[in-house]
């Protein structure tokens, strides 16, 4: 019996160690262009060196009924069904901006990985690579990342 | 002709858009409560125009160093967005005077969300928005056509707001509500329509604040502290809608400031605006349309909007009622074809009440096996077998034709008809041109060859039943027929005896009755009682005293009705009809003389009771003996101070026997003063008394003013039997 309790506590301790925060928090500013229409759905994801999806970092837009409009990402998310808990926020409308916090693992930096900002607006358009940029240390120091679709620019800074 | 177009389009538009207008009104009413509630919350601040923006920003920054943005909504609630210690974004309301958090932002109630979507798009997205936009445009047209109809109804713009006598009909309420809510309703319709037009056609967009040459000089420059940014010195909190703080302390990061009518980007280095765009006229129009349509900027305006929504529902219902009444009443059920009719009744009516008289008249003829045809005056054409044209018409506007008679005079010119005619005008002495249209018709008929007068031209003031009956008696005589006009069909009302007095020495007694309909009753109205024993109707003039019906009855030994009433006991109920009698109501004349004998005093007891003290009232009352007065004494005593003079005549006492007309002869100056000051004399009692009193008044007028009673006939109102 004692052994069992010891083992249990041991496992719990191990688990809590593995749960130690492996990511660093960043704040990310997204400034939208002055487009007309509904708020934009935005997905920020991490891509590997072959531009394959690795992980969903943040999703703007909470109504999953529209997620299939962000089609490339939805192909990935639909299969992998990773939980989006805690990494979603409201859509961002034309002309306005939002600040979100992003969890970025230091291991991802400088590995030829990329960040992708995918955007879609109801009845308007879908931009697969509104922004796609290599994830470097430089980029996380507040560089202005210009968007090509609904996004005007994005800036990321350490908290 | 034009009037017909207005009327038809008003109706057609309302019928087509009705259901959507109703829906929008009901949801609009619900939505109008939101600004009222939000403005009354503790999170809403009223004196933001006294608070410097800089002070507020420093307060906020001190309390919440991580603030990202500040918003002021139309309810003057200030919220901020900030990042908490867990790097989560948080939004809440603050007090800008202290910077402290005061409340969480609660989600908008689901009821408001539901109503908004229903109001805006019927849950049909763009299709729904389009339908609602169209509805708003329809509403504009309905308001415009309604305005044209109001003008027509009252004759001129100035007269629209002159007082209209209450008659309790749907038409009364419809025009009353629409004239007072014309402007708010127009504003609601225009602003609502504009919001749709903007969405579908203009798609107004603000100018792009980011569209400017960013100078790329990245030379390290010093970032200013918040208090050193001059731009903020110039504003009050009430002028801003939103401020976004710079994302980082770097020169290419700016404050974004959204003012009510402009946007600014403010540099952290210079403290000056580096770009500014002003609101475009299209956006300004849209913004004001939004404010006016939602009332978000003012709780008072929201209340007006809410009331307007309610009124709109009422207008829809009363409008439908008017329309139904008109088609039901004017659908003359003619049994014989037009060209076989011997008697043709032509009706001019705006709201249908004159049709009621026409059909009762027609029924009396049909009972005598006469061939009758009823039509509106506009349907006038040649009637091949007509011998008699009976014309009943009301007057509208400023002495003009009602809508279904507007083409009659024109048609009359071109049609040659051989017949006898008689004209009865329906109108109201509240209007300066009493029965002017009927009178005009009578003159034109008179000029026409082939047409001959059957009776003298007569009028009915305020639907006075006895004037109508008098005219039909004239008609009976002229045609040598015995026309029996049935009383109008009305609902019976239950009355409960609250008090019944003993018989006084004149065999008179009073009854105090309770009824649910008391609010519809005015002193001077009639109570029509039909005892089962003989099925004949008796009319009693009634008073309203202390919210009860008061009537006075003389018991005749052989009288079926009076005996029946005298035997009723307290708390027993019976049924009777209450008949409005607007021509015998106490108007707003300053001088009034009441003249009555016997039980005729009853309606006056109520009028004296309800009269305002500034009225000058005289009473002339004829009784048999001093003891007879006991029955009414209390009613006079309680109003003693209001009555200028109470003159009593006793006809059956030992000495000084006299009748009420003798009292009149003794007070010529009272009569003259009243008539000359535009006052009125009201008579109630026996026909014999009426005749004698009028004779005396005529004498006085001839002697003192060298004129006669006919020149004052509109000021002398009788209800005698
Ligand atoms: C707006 C308005 C204007 C009126 N103008 C006159 C008028 O100028 N002369 C008149 O004698 N009666 C006038 N009247 C009274 C009507 O003729 C009277 O109420 C009549 O009984 C209505 O009959 P109807 O329902 O058949 O149209 C007016 C009534 C209203 C509501």
Please state, for a pLDDT cut of 70, what percent of chain B lies above it. 98
Q: B331-479 and B493-720 share one CATH topology?
A: yes
**Distance in Å, CA B172 to ligand 1 centroid:** 11
B460 near B424, Cβ under 8 Å?
yes
Q: Would the pLDDT of A13 be above 60?
A: no
Instruction: Tell me the pLDDT tens digit for each residue of A40-79.
Output: 999 999 999 999 999 999 999 988 888 988 999 999 998 8
Task: Using CA coordinates, name the residue in chain B closest to A94.
Answer: B205
B89 min Cα distance to partner chain A (Å): 7
Residue A95 near chain B (CB below 8 Å):
yes
Q: Which of B389, B427, B386 minimizes the C-alpha distance to B408?
A: B389
Q: Length of chain B, please? A: 721
User: What mean pLDDT do residues B578-582 have?
Assistant: 83
- Whether the pLDDT of residue B2 is over 90: the answer is no
CA atoms within 13 A on the CB side of A95: 17
Protein fold of B331-479: Rossmann fold (3.40.50)
Nearest to A70 by CA among A127, A114, A22: A127
Cα of B435 from ligand 1 centre, angstroms: 8
Extract the runs of DSSP E, i.e. beta strands, from B404-507.
Answer: 419-427, 451-453, 458-461, 493-500
Structure tokens at B114: 């539901």
CATH topology of domain B493-720: Rossmann fold (3.40.50)
Mean pLDDT of chain B, nearest integer:
91
Would the pLDDT of A20 be above 70?
no
Residue B130 has pLDDT above 90, yes or no: yes
Task: Tell me if chain A has a CB within 8 Å of the CB of B252.
Answer: yes
Nearest-Cα residue of chain A relative to residue B257: A96
Strands A53-60 and A41-47, sheet pairing: antiparallel
DSSP chain A: -HHHHHHHHHHHHHHHHHTS--SEEEEEEEEE----SSPBEEEEEEE-TTS-EEEEEEEE---GGGGGGSHHHHHHHHHH----TTSEE--B-TT-EEEEEEEE-GGGTTTT-EEEEEEE-TTS-EEEEEEEEE--TGGGBT--EE-SSSEEEEEEEE-
Per residue in B268-311, pLDDT tens? 999 999 999 999 999 999 999 999 999 999 999 999 999 999 99
CB contact under 8 A, A99 and B89: yes
Copy the structure tokens of residue B101. 């958090």
pLDDT higher than 90, residue B196: yes
Every domain of chain B and the residues it spans: 2-37+111-204+288-323, 46-96+209-279, 331-479, 493-720
Closest-CA distance, A83 to chain B, in angstroms, reads 18
Tokens in use for B565? 């009433």
- Comparing alpha-carbon positions, the chain A residue that sits nearest to B67 is A99
What is the predicted pLDDT for the residue at A1?
60
What's the complex ipTM?
A: 0.76
Q: What is the mean pLDDT of residues B494-514?
A: 91
Q: Which residues are near ligand 1 (CB < 6 Å)?
A: B 153-154, 164, 349-354, 394-399, 402, 426-428, 431, 433-436, 463
List pLDDT tens digits, range A100-109. Answer: 888 899 999 9
Q: What is the DSSP letter of B618?
A: E
Confidence of residue A15 (pLDDT cuts 50, 70, 90): low
Q: Is the pLDDT of residue B252 over 90?
A: no
**pLDDT tens per residue across span B16-31:** 999 999 999 999 999 9
HSE toward the beta carbon, residue B605, CA cutoff 13 A: 30
Find the B427 Cα to ligand 1 centroid distance in Å.
Answer: 5
Q: Decide: B111 and B60 in contact? Cβ < 8 Å.
A: no
120-149 of A, contacting B, C-beta below 8 A: 142, 144
A36 neighbourhood in chain B, CB within 8 Å: 203, 205
Q: Per the CB < 8 Å rule, is A101 touching B83?
A: yes
Q: What is the pLDDT of residue B613?
A: 79
Cβ distance of A99 and B83 shorter than 8 Å: yes
Interface test with B, best of A63, A97, A99, A152 (most B CBs within 10 A): A99
Q: What's residue A19's pLDDT? A: 47
Among B88, B89, B250, the residue with its CB nearest the CB of A142 is B250
Task: Kindly report the nearest CA distance between residue A108 and chain B, in angstroms.
Answer: 21
Mean pLDDT of chain A: 86
Degrees to nearest 5, angle at CA B448 with B445 and B452: 65
- Per-residue pLDDT tens for B663-696? 999 999 999 999 999 999 999 998 899 999 999 9
Distance (Å) from the C-alpha of residue B247 to the closest C-alpha of chain A?
Answer: 7
> Which pLDDT score is estimated for B250?
84
Residue B575 CA to ligand 1 centre (angstroms)? 32
Highest mean pLDDT (candidates B59-73, B154-168, B203-217): B59-73
């Amino acid at each position: 019996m004692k052994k069992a309790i010891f083992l249990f506590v041991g496992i719990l301790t191990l688990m809590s160690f593995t749960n130690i925060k492996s990511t660093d928090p960043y704040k990310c500013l997204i400034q939208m262009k002055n487009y007309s229409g509904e708020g934009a759905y935005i997905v920020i994801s991490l891509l590997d060196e072959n531009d394959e999806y690795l992980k969903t970092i943040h999703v703007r837009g909470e109504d999953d009924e529209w997620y299939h409009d962000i089609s490339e990402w939805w192909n990935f998310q639909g299969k992998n069904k990773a939980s989006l808990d805690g990494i979603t926020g409201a859509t961002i409308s034309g002309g306005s901006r939002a600040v979100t916090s992003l969890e970025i693992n230091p291991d991802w930096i400088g590995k030829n990985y990329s960040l992708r900002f995918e955007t879609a607006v109801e009845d308007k358009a879908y931009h697969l690579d509104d922004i796609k940029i290599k994830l470097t240390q430089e980029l996380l120091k507040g560089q202005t990342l210009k968007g090509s679709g609904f996004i005007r620019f994005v800036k990321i800074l350490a908290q | 002709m034009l009037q017909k177009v207005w009327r038809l389009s008003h109706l057609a538009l309302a019928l087509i858009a009705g259901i959507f207008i109703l829906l929008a009104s009901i949801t609009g009413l619900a939505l109008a409560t939101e600004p009222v509630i939000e403005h009354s919350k503790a999170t809403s601040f009223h004196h933001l125009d006294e608070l410097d923006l800089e002070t507020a920003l420093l307060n906020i920054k001190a309390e919440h160093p991580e603030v990202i943005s500040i918003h002021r909504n139309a309810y003057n609630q200030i919220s901020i967005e900030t990042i908490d210690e867990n790097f989560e974004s948080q939004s809440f309301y603050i007090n800008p005077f202290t910077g402290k958090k005061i409340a969480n932002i609660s989600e908008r109630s689901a009821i408001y969300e539901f109503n908004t979507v229903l109001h805006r798009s019927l849950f049909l997205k763009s299709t729904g928005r389009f339908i609602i936009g169209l509805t708003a445009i329809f509403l504009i047209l309905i308001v415009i056509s309604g305005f044209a109809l109001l003008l027509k109804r009252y004759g001129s713009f100035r007269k629209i707001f002159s007082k209209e006598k209450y008659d309790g009909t749907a038409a009364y309420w419809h025009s009353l509500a629409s004239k007072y809510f014309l402007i708010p309703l127009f504003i609601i319709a225009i602003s609502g329509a504009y919001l749709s037009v903007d969405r579908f056609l203009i798609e107004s967009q603000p100018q792009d604040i980011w569209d400017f040459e960013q100078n790329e000089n990245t030379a390290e420059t010093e970032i200013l502290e918040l208090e050193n940014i001059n731009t903020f010195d110039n504003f009050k909190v009430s002028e801003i809608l939103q401020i976004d703080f710079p994302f980082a302390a770097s020169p290419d990061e700016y404050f974004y400031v959204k003012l009510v009518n402009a946007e600014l980007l403010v540099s952290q280095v210079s403290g000056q605006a580096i770009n500014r765009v002003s609101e475009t006229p299209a956006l300004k129009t849209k913004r004001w349309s939004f404010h006016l349509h939602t009332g978000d900027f003012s709780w008072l305006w929201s209340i007006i909007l809410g009331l307007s929504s309610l009124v709109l529902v009422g207008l829809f219902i009363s409008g439908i009622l008017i329309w139904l009444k008109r088609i039901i009443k004017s659908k003359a059920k003619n049994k014989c074809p037009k060209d076989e009719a011997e008697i043709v009744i032509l009706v001019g009516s705006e709201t249908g009440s004159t049709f009621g008289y026409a059909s009762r008249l027609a029924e009396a003829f049909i009972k005598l096996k006469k061939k009758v045809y009823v039509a509106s005056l506009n349907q006038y054409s040649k009637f091949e077998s007509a011998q008699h044209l009976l014309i009943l018409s009301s007057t509208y506007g400023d002495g003009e034709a009602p809508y279904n008679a507007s083409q009659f005079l024109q048609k009359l010119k071109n049609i040659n008809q051989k017949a006898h005619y008689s004209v009865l005008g329906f109108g109201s002495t509240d209007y300066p041109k009493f029965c002017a249209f009927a009178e005009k018709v009578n003159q034109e008929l008179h000029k026409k060859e082939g047409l001959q007068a059957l009776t003298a031209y007569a009028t009915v003031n305020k639907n006075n039943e006895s004037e109508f009956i008098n005219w039909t008696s004239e008609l009976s005589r002229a045609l040598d027929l015995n026309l029996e006009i049935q009383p109008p069909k009305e609902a019976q009302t239950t009355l409960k005896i609250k008090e019944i007095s003993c018989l006084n020495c004149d065999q008179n007694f009073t009854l105090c009755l309770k009824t649910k309909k008391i609010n519809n009753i005015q002193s001077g109205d009639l109570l029509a009682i039909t005892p089962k024993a003989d099925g004949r109707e008796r009319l009693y003039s009634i008073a309203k005293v202390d919210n009860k019906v008061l009537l006075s009855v003389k018991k005749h030994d052989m009288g079926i009705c009076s005996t029946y009433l005298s035997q009723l006991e307290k708390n027993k109920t019976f049924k009777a009809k209450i008949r409005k009698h607007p021509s015998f109501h106490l108007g707003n004349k300053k001088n009034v003389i009441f003249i009555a004998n016997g039980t005729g005093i009853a309606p006056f007891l109520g009028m004296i009771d309800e009269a305002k003290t500034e009225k000058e009232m005289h009473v002339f009352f004829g009784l048999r003996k001093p003891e007879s007065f006991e029955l009414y004494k209390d009613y006079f005593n309680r109003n003693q101070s209001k009555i200028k003079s109470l003159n009593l005549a006793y006809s059956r006492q030992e000495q000084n026997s006299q009748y009420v007309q003798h009292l009149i002869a003794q007070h010529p100056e009272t009569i003259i003063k009243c008539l000359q000051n535009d006052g009125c004399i009201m008579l109630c009692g026996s026909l014999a008394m009426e005749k004698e009193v009028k004779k005396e008044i005529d004498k006085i007028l001839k002697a003192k003013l060298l004129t006669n009673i006919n020149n004052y006939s509109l000021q002398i109102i009788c209800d005698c039997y």
